[in-house]
Amino acid sequence: MGLAKIPTAVVYLSTALFLPCASAQTVDEIIAKNIQARGGIEKLKAVKTLRMTAKINQGGFRATIVQENQRPNKVRQEFIIQGMAEVEAYDGKSAWQVSPFEGRKDPSLLSADDTKHLVEDADIDGQLVDYKNKDHRAELIGHDSVEGTDCYKIKLTMANGDARYYYIDTDSFLDLKVETERNIRGTVQYGETLLGDYEQVNGVYYPFSVDSGQKGSQFHTRLTIEKVEVNVPLDGARFAIPTGGSK
């Protein structure tokens, strides 16, 4: 017994209904909605400097993390325990660190591989914004779930060949998870970060809960963001490697 012929009118109707859905799932439209959900391109571009203060409180371990950003592409991160700070920074050209916990109080330059995470963190807008102008490539992988929430999954191949996978909530269009693949000294390192508790600061939504670790590992570090400060005065010298051992 053969299949009944589908009426032409039904074919046209179903095609008309399907096209908007297919169009809405293009990678560039999803990225555009993600940018809009975060506050919109004008609000994002209005952020010239940024300071985020976070706490780690796991068992008896307590630490404070402060990240400062300044356009274009500058970042400084401080990991503070009992008044002692480990510092990593990138000034747009080179990266350096001070590691007192390892007995190194003088600044030292970081290798290109060890600089990768700082270069990514230095992008104050995030890698998806203007990704084509940054020589990144984006593609829609499909759908995936993050703790039961349906998400669009976007693969962003970075200009340096590393990859980031964004899980974007199909309802809110905010990032719920980011996975990273970085080639470090010939070995691919896999990481993941869960994002939540979004709050609006100066018209831009920031995650106030950040849970990160190696992909597949049961041990993750939970950061609780306590404060986000936008357009605070920052001296550009804070991002440059100190000379003469002074900050």
Tell me the domains of the chain and their CATH numbers: 28-239 (2.50.20.10)
Q: How confident is the model at residue 17 (pLDDT cuts 50, 70, 90)?
A: very low
Full-model pTM: 0.86
Q: For the segment 150-183, what is each residue's pLDDT rounded down to a tens digit?
A: 999 999 999 999 999 999 999 999 999 999 999 9
Q: How far apart are CA 92 and CA 118, in angstroms?
A: 10
∠ at Cα 184 (181, 186), nearest 5°?
Answer: 105
∠ at Cα 23 (19, 28), nearest 5°?
Answer: 175
Residue 72, preceding bond cis, omega within 30 degrees?
yes
Q: How far apart are CA 29 and CA 240, in angstroms?
A: 38
Q: For the segment 197-235, what is each residue's pLDDT rounded down to a tens digit?
A: 999 999 999 999 999 998 888 888 999 999 999 999 999
Q: How confident is the model at residue 244 (pLDDT cuts 50, 70, 90)?
A: low
